[in-house]
Amino acid sequence: KQEVTQIPAALSVPEGENLVLNCSFTDSAIYNLQWFRQDPGKGLTSLLLIQSSQREQTSGRLNASLDKSSGRSTLYIAASQPGDSATYLCAVRTSGTYKYIFGTGTRLKVLA
């Protein structure tokens, strides 16, 4: 059974710092992995989608990497800003299924 873990649960950093968020999964036979952002009381906004055959994806200041063999994905945020403050979630779809398993998220606070 696929299990997805995100550590740490919460993180505070000063503005301008580069940071890395972690997502670990137990079954390396994944179909894809997606990173989301969720603001308080809002829905989920897709940030990056990594297919199984890809090693990384980039969008602006965000870079997501995927290492299936070690069961890990990282989301790198460059030059963090207060507007980046939100909860970041990863979701994994295991090969051969249509189901997505979510981590419990990392709550990020960027201090001005």
Partner 1 sequence: NAGVTQTPKFRVLKTGQSMTLLCAQDMNHEYMYWYRQDPGMGLRLIHYSVGEGTTAKGEVPDGYNVSRLKKQNFLLGLESAAPSQTSVYFCASISASYNEQFFGPGTRLTVL
Does position 22 interact with partner 1 (CB under 8 A)? The reply is no
31 is a contact residue toward partner 1 (CB under 8 A): yes
- Of the two residues 9 and 79, which places its CB atom closer to partner 1 in the complex? 9
Q: Which of 22, 76, 102, 107 binds partner 1 (CB under 8 A)?
A: 102
Which residues in the 54-83 window bind partner 1 by CB under 8 A?
Answer: none
Beta strands in 7-85 (DSSP E): 10-14, 19-25, 30-38, 44-51, 56-59, 62-67, 72-77
> Within its chain, how far is the Cα of 107 from the centroid?
11
Q: For residue 42, state whether it binds partner 1 (rule: CB under 8 A).
A: yes
Q: CA-to-CA distance for 83 and 101, rounded, in angstroms?
A: 27
The SS3 of residue 83 is helix
Site residues (vs partner 1, CB under 8 A): 31-32, 34, 36, 42-46, 49, 51, 89, 91, 93, 98-105
